[in-house]
Each structure stands twice: as structure tokens, then as C-alpha cells.
Amino acid sequence: MIKWGIIGLGNMGQNFARAITETNNSNLVGVASTDTNKIKNFISKHNFKDLVTYNNYDEIIKDKNITAIYIATLNNTHYELIKKCSENNKNILCEKPFTLNYDEGREVYDYITKNRIIFYEGFAYRSHPQTKIIQDIVQNNELGEIKNIQSSFGFKINRIKPDSRLFDKKLGGGAILDVGCYPLSILNLFYKDPDSYKFLNTKGNLTHTNVDDFAEAEIEINKKIRCQIKVSFKENYQNKTIIEGQKGKLIINSPWLPEKQTNLEISQGSSYYKKIVNSDLSLYANQIEKVSDNFEKNKKDDKFLVNIQNSLAIMKNMTIWSKLIKK
């Protein structure tokens, strides 16, 4: 049984707390927030027995009764918190993005490796049953040799708030950092080597707060697969992923936030069918149970999770993408 602590009691911290009650291998034993009102609100919403609360992050990290930490704070805090958790022998599930850029990512990688910590980044869709079915369809050659991948994640924000986490550069704002990691992570599901990626064309827009509110990229992988990815805070995209091969096409209708029941569309020539995917657990519960199982088994690599090597590869390409749209 993994004894979890949550750092940060915003929306994602609340999601984690609700989801952990569905699992059989995880207990929530401590939570931390620098905002005492958030702690009071958390206690009133949830019914966890013997829960220890902290308004200091260092104290929860040093608690020897806690074996794993879920980091759900703002993007700009992840770097230091990961380092402290590593130094205190805490396995980590960290919300994306795990750092603000590739240089920070490399430092974090060194800390995790040196301290022999197991680290996973919070791409919850990866542990949903849908992901295994997608991998099986591709690996069983149902689509033939992959030629093209299209993937998007966009939602409309009506007004720019300069001090919000999405638009404040110091807090790690910007569409690429917030959601660009998703389409890059779906590419990374099949092609993990960042050196096999070549950015052919990019475009984007910077707001008056100096963060991007939309970005697009055309990427070539292994000199043969063309990928079109796009992210936005300005427009509601379909948020689908389409994988096309020589023999067929796969449409992933809910790639990022699949529900307990979702569906895939597969076409091969004149043949077309829908595949219904069912999950016993909710999205975040799947992730917690999978991560906890790996922590118990001391397993640092899992194709249905994003480990530190995968995170670094994704961050490398996010950093390249960000630099290219600013040229």
C-alpha cells in the first residue's frame, strides 16, 4: 500500500483526492498547502481518516510516513519540489509540465537518477485502457506503415489575465507549456527519441504578457512520418488525434481526457468500425493505481506512463518549439 501526500490543493489536488478513493493500493495520509483556507476547504470536502495537514511543503516532504508525493502546484514550483522530494527519498508523480524548459529538465533528471527515485509525469490518459488498444492497433499493423499524425489541444479563453497561471511567464504560462506537451506526448508514445524529430514549419502568437496563446508545428519523424500538431488558448479545437497509415486510419476522439466509456474510429479502405473502450476506474484513478503499483514493484519504466526519460524527451521538443515561434 502506497502512502501518498499531496502538495498543492487546487483543482488537480482535489481531483487526485477524489480518485484515490477508487483504488485498492493507495492511501492518502497527508496534504500540504501554503493557503490555510484551502486546507480547511479540503477537509470539509473530503472524509479521510487520520489525515495530516501541513502549511509548509518542506514538512510534508520530510514526513517519513509518506512514501510518495503528488506535486500539483504551479508550473514554476515543480523544479525545486522535485529536487527536494528526490533528496528525501520520495517517489514522485508530478503534474505536467515537470519543468519550465529543457535545461531545468536535465538538472531534475540528474537529481532523480542520483537519488534513485521513481518519477512519473501526470499524463493521466496514458494509463487509461484506451492507450493499450491504440498501441495494439498500431503495433499489429492494422493501419500499415504510419505516414501521418494530426493532433490538437485547444480551448478558448475570452480574456487574458496577466497574473493567471496561463498567461504569467514567471508562473510557466503559455499554450505550449500548458497543453503542447499533450500532442508531443502522443508522438512520444510511439517515437521516444527526440533526435528523430525535425521541425519543418512552426508558427504562433505571443500575447502582451510574452507567452504564446497559440502555436502550430509540422514535424517530420524518422525522415518519413509527417505530423501536424497545434495548441491554443484562443479557439476550441476538436481535440482529436488522427493516425493515418498505408492501410487505414485511426481517430482518437477523446485522446486527453477519456471517460469511463470512450470510442475509437477505425477505417481500412471501405471498411469502418467503432471500438468502444470501457474502464472500471475513472481517468485519474487509473493513473494513481498504475503509478502506485510501479512504486511497489520499484518499476521505473512503463510504456503506459511517462517516466523521467520520456519527460525529458518531450520537454526537449517543447523547448525547441517555443524557441522557433519566437524567431
Stretch 38-61: mean pLDDT, rounded? 94
Say which residues have a Cβ less than 8 Å from residue 62's Cβ, sequence separation at least 6.
Answer: 88
Sorting pLDDT into bands at 50, 70 and 90, what band is 164? confident
Report how far residue 174's alpha carbon sits from residue 250's, in angstroms, rounded to the nearest whole number: 29
Q: Has residue 29 got a pLDDT over 80?
A: yes
Report how far residue 230's alpha carbon sits from residue 114's, in angstroms, rounded to the nearest whole number: 36
Question: Hey, where are the domains in the chain?
Answer: 2-124, 128-282+306-325
Is residue 89 helix, strand or coil?
coil
Report how far residue 118's alpha carbon sits from residue 68's, in angstroms, rounded to the nearest whole number: 9
pLDDT in tens, 117-143: 999 999 999 999 999 999 999 999 999
H helix runs in the chain, sequence order: 11-20, 36-45, 57-62, 78-87, 102-114, 129-139, 175, 181-190, 283-297, 308-325
- Average pLDDT score over the chain: 95
Superfamily per CATH, domain 128-282+306-325: Dihydrodipicolinate Reductase; domain 2 (3.30.360.10)
What DSSP state is assigned to residue 307?
E
Is residue 180 helix, strand or coil?
helix
Sorting pLDDT into bands at 50, 70 and 90, what band is 182? very high
pLDDT in tens, 272-282: 999 999 999 99
CATH of domain 2-124: 3.40.50.720
Q: Is the dihedral of CA 267, 271, 272, 276 positive or negative?
A: negative
Q: Has residue 327 got a pLDDT over 80?
A: no
pLDDT of residue 190: 87
Sorting pLDDT into bands at 50, 70 and 90, what band is 67? very high
> Is residue 187 a contact partner of residue 313, using CB atoms and an 8 Å limit?
no
pLDDT in tens, 280-308: 999 999 999 999 999 999 999 999 999 99
Stretch 139-153: mean pLDDT, rounded? 96
Q: Has residue 98 got a pLDDT over 90?
A: yes
Report how far residue 108's alpha carbon sits from residue 96's, in angstroms, rounded to the nearest whole number: 14
Q: Has residue 163 got a pLDDT over 80?
A: yes
Report how far residue 305's alpha carbon sits from residue 287's, in angstroms, rounded to the nearest whole number: 8
